[in-house]
Amino acid sequence: MSASSDMPIFNPAFETASREQIRARQLELLKEQIQWIWDHSAYYRPKLEAIGFEPGDLKSLDDLVRLPFTDKSALRDTYPYGMFAVPMEQVIRLHASSGTTGKPIVVGYNQHDIEEWRLCIESVMQMAGVVPGDRVQMAFGYGMFTGGFGLHYGAEGLGCMIIPAGAGNTERHLMQIADYGTTVLVATPSYAMHICEVGEQQGFDWASSTLRVGLFGGEPCPPALKAEIESRMHIFCTDNYGLTEVMGPGVSGECLVSRNQQHINEDHFFWEVVDPQTGEPVGEGEIGELVLTPLQKQAFPVLRYRTHDLTRVTTEPCGCGRSTARMDKIRSRTDDMLIIRGTNFFPSQVEDVLAQIEEVSPIYRIEVDNETGLDRVTLTLELENEVFTDDWREIEKYRKMIIRRLHDVLQFNVVLKLVNPGQIERTTGKAKHVLDHRR
């Protein structure tokens, strides 16, 4: 298993073009997209008119910053069809995101959009080393969720054989991998891990299985989990990024060379990275909120969509041969960001440190207060069973070591509480592991 830079590239004319050529093509597409929105979107047209912006005013990519952002609330407020920009009889597919509160958000696609989406997925799959003739087993659910159908049509388009197994029924998945000669598994990383474990329990021989690639999505994939799956299943795993509001999966994908970064399909998405507080652009390579404008959407165009996902982007050329920009895998959301003594702080920074300390479990709780007038961060951790001891001197040794290692990354000292294994409350779904008492 090795990273290869001689894999075919899906659209070499674009993906290996110079940055100037890529920007020029983006400008061309953006002009067409703004014209489409002007002509077809009953939602955006008045908004553009209100700021005195006409399609001809877009002379360079920088002019896009004059346009307003779009937030998820706009999609909720216009539920279900208020942002559609084609007559309903031209909409051939609906998808929706699972809303944790209230109504979901609904998006639509016409024939053109479905085609473009397929191209984006084909590109992402080729980044991961998937080639025509691969046998792709789908362990995503089909349904309103964009993952299943999105990957399905991309795999077919690329010339793969799709095995539309769907979510669940792990034993059947194992049987299918063995009997059908599956080479690519599409799954959430946690379900891939589950398939791996159930297989191991049943004596499934992963080393000699035909499976070669894991194509992950649908949830964040921590590098440690990915590495674990790779070594136990003897496969190469990549993950890709997307969101229903701008299309679904297919915004960006991880290539075989730049691990933990993803090439953005820049012929379909214009990206910006902005300061989540001010909305102003940050410098290249700096962390900020990803803002996406799809460049070729007809039924559901969106301008400057605020993803609330934090990342940084580089336009340095990649060893795989692609010159398209690469974003860091999403590790945090803007809602997770805390400002501690004037500096941005992300819980993922703590997670990164904890991942390197064997003596503590990855479960943690962060509490912030300013009772003393100065921001204070209290971190509660569980010692692993093996190292848990009644000897306070031993505990104190671990405590000092952890505080020091956190300080190296955070540049401030936390108040550290070490507790018995199992003492931090487990929650299902999005864990509420950060409590900010300052608000």
269 close to 294: Cβ distance less than 8 angstroms: yes
Measured CA to CA, the distance from residue 140 to residue 186 in angstroms comes to: 7
Residue 322 contacts residue 263 (beta carbons within 8 Å): yes
Question: In the complex, what is the shortest distance from the CB of residue 317 to Zn ion, in angstroms, rounded to a whole number?
Answer: 9
Radius of gyration of the chain (CA): 23
Of 123 and 258, nearer to Zn ion (C-beta) is 258
For Zn ion, give the closer residue by CB, 237 or 410.
237
CB of residue 424 to Zn ion, shortest distance in Å: 38
Tell me if residue 364 falls in helix, strand or coil: strand
**Strand pairing category for 338-340 and 332-333:** unpaired
SS3 308: strand
CB of 240 to Zn ion, least distance (A): 13
Nearest distance in Å: CB 288, Zn ion? 22
d(CA 408, CA 394): 22
Comparing CB distances to Zn ion, the nearer of 127 and 418 is 127
In the complex, least distance from residue 5 CB atom to Zn ion, rounded to whole angstroms: 8
Contact (CB, 8 A) for 140 and 168: no
Q: What is the number of alpha carbons within 13 Å of residue 134 lying toward its C-beta? A: 26
In the complex, minimum distance from the CB of residue 258 to Zn ion, in angstroms, rounded to a whole number: 5
Measure the CA–CA gap between 120 and 133, rounded to whole angstroms: 19
In the complex, the smallest distance separating the C-beta of residue 138 from Zn ion, rounded to whole angstroms, is: 25
Nearer to Zn ion, 97 or 258 (CB): 258
DSSP H helical ranges for 78-169: 111-127, 146-158
Q: Nearer to Zn ion by C-beta: 86 or 320?
A: 320
Task: Give the chain's length.
Answer: 439
Nearer to Zn ion, 128 or 257 (CB): 257
Task: For the CB of residue 254, give the shortest distance to Zn ion in the complex, in Å.
Answer: 8
Residues forming the site for Zn ion (CB under 5 A): 255, 257-258, 318, 320, 322
Residue 243 backbone zone (phi > 0: left; psi -120 to 50: alpha; other: beta)? beta
Q: How far is the CB of 218 from Zn ion (least distance, A)?
A: 22
Tokens linked to 394? 């031993």
Residue 136 or 255: which CB sits closer to Zn ion?
A: 255
Q: Which residues contact 143 (CB under 8 A, 6 or more apart)?
A: none
Q: Could you tell me the CA-to-CA distances from 342 to 283, 345, 371 in Å, in that order?
A: 19, 9, 16
Which CB sits closer to Zn ion, 209 or 261?
261
For Zn ion, which is the closer residue by CB, 245 or 267?
Answer: 267
DSSP class of residue 93?
Answer: E
Helix (H) or strand (E) run with residue 272 in it: strand 269-274
